[in-house]
Every structure is written in C-alpha cells, then in structure tokens.
Structure 1
Amino acid sequence: MRILRTDEARFQGLPDYPFQANYVDVAPGLRMHYVDEGPRSASPVLMLHGEPSWSYLYRHMIPLVAAAGHRVLAPDLIGFGKSDKPAHLSDYSYDRHTAWLTHWLKTLDLRDVTLVCQNWGSLLGLRLATEHADRFSRIIVGNGMLPTGETRLPAIFTLWKAFASHSPWFPIGRIVQLGTERTLSKDELAAYEAPFPSSEYKAGARAFPHLIPVSPDDPNSRANRDVWKALEKWRKPFITCFSSGDTLTRGSDRHMQRRIPGAHGQPHVTLRGGHFLQEDSPEHFARIIIDALKSEMAA
C-alpha cells in the first residue's frame, strides 16, 4: 500500500479552524488525524464526516458543543483531511474503513459516546455504534442513510457514482458547494481542497460511491443488514436531524424513525439547508446535540 501524506503547510490559516492536530496510527504506517476539543473528563461527542469533506465541515459546531461542557472529537476518515491517504482505489473498502475507525475508538478508549454522523459518516458510524454498542449512549443522524441494496437508490446516486469514476478533475470544493445552499467563500472552498494537492490524493473520495451496496448480493449488503437487525433492537436515544433540501437522503429519516425503537418519542427535526447541513444550519444542528445531552443529564 502506497500511502500519501498531505503537507501540513496546506492547512495553515484555514478560516475558523484553529484546532490542534492529534494523530493515532490505525495500521502500520497509516496515521489518522482528529480534532479533540473540550474537557477530557466529559463524555465524548463523536462527529463523523462523509464524502468528500473532512473535519473542517464541523468547524462551526465543534466550539459550540465544547463550550457547553462536552468533549468533541472529529476524526478525518482515512483518505480525507489531514489523515493519510492510500493512493489506490483498491486500498479502500467498507471493512477497512470500519477497522480503522474501530482501532481509533479503542485506542482512545472512548465510552458513553454520542455519535453525530452524516453522509458516509452514517454508513460507518452506525456500523461502529452497533458493533460496539457498549461504548455508545445515543445516536444523532443528519442527512444519512444505511442502504442494504434491497431497495433502489435515488437516480442522483447513480449519476454521482459515474461522476466519481470518470471525472478527470473531481473538484472537491465545487462538490461541497453543490450540496450547500449558502455560497461558500473562496477561502472555504480552498479549505475543502486543501487535503488534495493533486488527483492522486483523491482515491479515497472516489472510492466511497463504489462501496455502497446496490444489490442484496453485494459483499457489503450482509454487513448492513446485520446493522439494521441491531438497530431494530436499539432502545437508546436515536435522533434524526435532516435538512429540507437534500434529495439524496430524503425520506431516510422517516424510515429510521419507524424502524428503530430508540427513535420513538425523540425530538426529530428538519432544518433548513442542503446535503451539508453543517454548513447551512450549524448553530441549529449544534443546539440539537446540546439539548439531547442536557435532557439526558436531567433525566
């Protein structure tokens, strides 16, 4: 496995991202970066990004949740952000991503975790939480889903998968902008591009669409069906926080609310924004997290 590492200089002076860098080796020679803010003694809030973003996506939410007295951790998935980037598409698999995250979780020995996840952060996070349920106390999903290949995915996904495969440029900043209703600044767009100095660094981002199961025979379908079996017995708090303008995951919130016992009676909410609701409604999204933790403490 040939591993690429983005020069730290590319991350200097990013707007609203003053966080200290932390690293854990999740495999020999493979380093995962994460943000770790707030009191170390507090129960952790784990914020998982998706594609093609990185922990920068949560930059407006991290200080708000940390200021409320919570420890906030936001890792960069392998292949993204400040984390190392295996150079070939074949280096990435659903199982490997799960194993890397699991190693990180156990190395930090995180417990009583509140999972906050979106996009591929949901596909990985829901599997992580159900496989290590003793370490997680609640789940908050924003614009996420967990497909098993048993139902047809939206047409927009087929187009996205083809674009990821064939676009010679694969413009990261523009992709994030397409999923965001507000206009990102030039500096914000550059921040999303920062982890990828050339096209060879983008294998992880290109790989994700191919890892989503599209039929029951897909190798990843069984694992996701197992996650659903666990979620159908999940009685800890499960909150959906979706946005009004996301065509990719629309309806997945209601699907989860019906099937997951822990979702019954929770304060589910629909926020204004596109697919990247962390960009469009960060304060409201953060408030959902803070209120969920506050109500649990009161109980």
Structure 2
Amino acid sequence: MTREVLRTPEERFSRLPGFAYAPHYVEVDGLRMHYVDVGPRNGPVVVLMHGEPTWAYLYRFMIEPLAAAGYRVLAPDLIGCGRSDKPGAVADYSYAKHVAWTWAWFEQLELADVTLFCQDWGSLIGLRLVAEHSDTFARVFVGNGFLPTGDQTMPRVFSLWRGFALRSPVFPVGAILQAGSKRWLSRDERAAYLAPFPDKRYMAGTRAFPALVPIAPDDPATPDNRAAWESLEKFSRPFHTCFADGDPITRGADKVLRRRVPGAADAEHTTIRGARHFLQEDQGAAIAEFMLAQMGPAR
C-alpha cells in the first residue's frame, strides 16, 4: 500500500516571530526534509536537533548567537515535524526509520566534524547517530535528553504523556509547549508551533513519538539502543550536559551520561536555571553562551 504523505502549505509559515530564515530541503526516502542553514558555509558545523512536538523554530534564540560567532548552524525538522513531509499514519513511523531518515540528511549534506546539540527526541535520535557514526561528531551537548533501552524505570509523567499522545481526541500543541516552558509564550509563538499541523491528519508523526520510546527490555528498539550504549561508552570526544533545573521527565539522566560516556569526564557541564523541559524556549541565549564558552571562536 502506498503511504499517504502530507505536506504543510508554505503559507502556514508566513508569521513566525523571530524566525525569518529561508527554508532548505533535501529528499530522504522519498520524503522532503526541511532544515535551517545559517552562518558561513565554510564555518564549523553545529547541528541543533529538536524533539516532540516541536520543530526548528525551538532554536530561534540559539541560532543567531552561534552563527554570529562564525559557526554554520543547521537545524533540521524531523520527518513528521515542522516544514518536513508528514506520512499520514502512526504506523508509518518507527525509531529505526527516524534514525535512518536523519542520517540520510547528514549524508546528503556531507557533514563532518559536527558539534551536536540535542534535546528530547533529538537526543534519542542524535545519540544513536553519535554511537553509530562516531567519527562524524567532534563534540556533543545534551540538554534534557537520554538514550533509553527499556531497562530503566520511566517516570509516571512519561506514562501519562504516552497515553495522552496516542489516545487524546485533541492534541493542543501550543498548550503543550506552554506547559513545558517556564516563560510565557506569546499567542504568535504558540501559533508558530501549531503551524505545521493544519488539521489532525498532519499529527500522526508527533503523536507516534512517545510510543516509540523503549520502555521494556523486549522493545523493538532495545537491541539497537543497547549497542549504541556500548559505542557511547567508548566515545572520548568532548561530551557536555546542560540539563534544566525544572524538567521532571529527564531529571537525573545527566548524571548517568556523565558517568558512562568517557568524553564527559573532562568536559564542562552546567545546570540551566529557570527552565523546564523546553529549555531552549526558556534560556536559549544562556545555552548558546555555554556552548560558545566550550567551543571557542570559530576557526
């Protein structure tokens, strides 16, 4: 059966406060994948990977300071999110497909010596890429993210979120962003997060994400994530954590990453104060400042 693929009309993105970036696209697995590309083309590459139910708009407070420092800043929209194409059924999505789609994007752009910042599902996918293609990554920053294998006990708030995403008759994206952010988002900002979804048909991908997180040892993604941990436990390049002080979902995961990834031993780490799950919304400028303090001036 041919999958239904939905493409959000461009006019939905006509009003994006603080985000006046030209769209860029590549094709992966027959799907159009969008990304932001800002800064000097020959600058060192920084990739910013979002989670759910967000898109590259989440990084609007981080893109400019990083680009102004001489870095080429790339922020892709995961398939099913933002300006990227959206297969129309929950069953069209899997953890393995997201990893493959995103790596295909890396390959098409021929990225090397990448500094990665990843959060939420950006971490579930990004850390897999770091594990499976370690030579591509020069440095990693993780904010409010982890790589679960199904061997950990997940917080109750995640179980509630998983059930809500799959079964709730409504999926209020703007309200979800507000609940996960400490600062008050304007009406236009909340509308920007809803822009990718003209109606509920477009939401299959973002609704699918929580059910793809491995929560049991026999989950389909568990073997690949366990193998990824074996690789991460050998990753010796700089590996930083910058978790928010107010995120109930990922609280404590930074300590595990620092303990298990060798590159974290001599790297700087920080706690982002005054932030919740969407720490890029609450303290994006502070995160960019921390990153630049570790990376130094662009070559």
Identify whether the pair has TM-score above 0.5, normalized to the shorter chain.
Answer: yes
1:11-56 deviations in Å (ceiling 9; x for gaps): 002100100100000112x100000000010111000000000000
- Which residue matches 1:143? 144
Kindly report which structure 2 residues correspond to 1:124-203, keeping only aligned pairs within 5 A, or say none. Answer: 124-203=125-204
CA positional deviation for 1:296: 9.4
Q: Is the 8 A contact 2:6 2:202 kept in 1?
A: yes
- Which residue matches 1:236? 237
- Which residue matches 1:14? 16
- Which residue matches 1:50? 51
- Taking a change above 3 Å as real, the CA distance of residues 295 and 42 of structure 1, as seen in their structure-2 partners, is closer
1:282 is the counterpart of 2:280: no
2:259 partner letter: R
Give the unaligned 5+ runs of structure 1.
none
* TM-score for the superposition, normalised by structure 1: 0.97
2:36 partner letter: V
2:280 partner letter: Q
2:129 partner letter: L
1:165-206 deviations in Å (ceiling 9; x for gaps): 111111111111110001100000000000000001000011
Whole-Å separation in 2 of the counterparts to 1:295 and 1:67? 10
Whole-Å separation in 1 of the counterparts to 2:268 and 2:297? 11
- Which residue matches 1:258? 259
1:64-97 deviations in Å (ceiling 9; x for gaps): 1000000000000000000000000000001111
2:290 partner letter: I
- Which residue matches 2:38? 37
Whole-Å separation in 2 of the counterparts to 1:171 and 1:41? 40
2:59 partner letter: Y
Q: State the SS of the aligned residue for 1:281.
A: helix
Kindly report which structure 2 residues correspond to 1:78-97, keeping only aligned pairs within 5 A, or say none. Answer: 78-97=79-98
RMSD, aligned α-carbons = 1.0
1:108-135 deviations in Å (ceiling 9; x for gaps): 0000000100000000000012211111
Whole-Å separation in 2 of the counterparts to 1:243 and 1:293? 20
Whole-Å separation in 2 of the counterparts to 1:278 and 1:290? 15
Among 5, 8, 16, the residue aligned to 2:7: 5
Whole-Å separation in 2 of the counterparts to 1:133 and 1:290? 22
Identity of aligned residues (%): 54
1:292 is the counterpart of 2:294: yes
Whole-Å separation in 1 of the counterparts to 2:253 and 2:52? 18
Whole-Å separation in 2 of the counterparts to 1:246 and 1:165? 22
- Taking a change above 3 Å as real, the CA distance of residues 74 and 296 of structure 1, as seen in their structure-2 partners, is closer
- Which residue matches 2:103? 102
* TM-score for the superposition, normalised by structure 2: 0.97
Q: State the SS of the aligned residue for 2:189.
A: helix
CA positional deviation for 1:265: 2.3
Q: State the SS of the aligned residue for 1:283.
A: helix
2:112 partner letter: R
Whole-Å separation in 2 of the counterparts to 1:296 and 1:226? 33
CA positional deviation for 1:216: 1.0
Q: State the SS of the aligned residue for 1:77.
A: coil
Pairs aligned (count): 296
Q: State the SS of the aligned residue for 2:28.
A: strand
Q: Is the 8 A contact 2:49 2:75 kept in 1?
A: yes
- Which residue matches 2:221? 220
Whole-Å separation in 2 of the counterparts to 1:24 and 1:222? 30
Whole-Å separation in 2 of the counterparts to 1:92 and 1:257? 31
Whole-Å separation in 2 of the counterparts to 1:112 and 1:266? 17
